[in-house]
Amino acid sequence: MEFFQIFLTVLMGLAVIMYYVLSRYKQKKRAEYGNDERWKNIVLSATMVVYHYYAAVLAIVVLGNFLYRLSPIDIQLRLSDVFGLLFLILLGGSTVEFIAFQVYDKRM
């Protein structure tokens, strides 16, 4: 197994753990705040941050695809690497959301 595969596997494991941590954090804070107005504002703000994250990822994918189509360079990737990176990008939203919850919980 090459270095990139090992690195990708470790990152996938961390991303899955981060998803679990986020769900536990949200459950704990929802119970702590009792689903009040402050908690709803925190959730709304964190959701908007994640929305902007996914919009930025989409823009990068579209731009990358456009540049790839125009360039004469032929790049070959394994499908497993592409799906691994896509998995990390999708689960990266959990990390972004967790950080946003932390920031907005302290700020509000």
* pLDDT at residue 69 greater than cutoff 80: yes
Confidence at residue 79, expressed as pLDDT on a 0 to 100 scale: 81
Per-residue confidence at 99, pLDDT binned at 50, 70, 90? very high
**Confidence category of residue 28, pLDDT binned at 50, 70, 90:** very high
CA distance 19 to 69: 34
Output the pLDDT for position 11: 85
What's the pLDDT band for 58 if we cut at 50, 70, 90? very high
pTM over 0.85: no
- Measured CA to CA, the distance from residue 13 to residue 38 in angstroms comes to 32
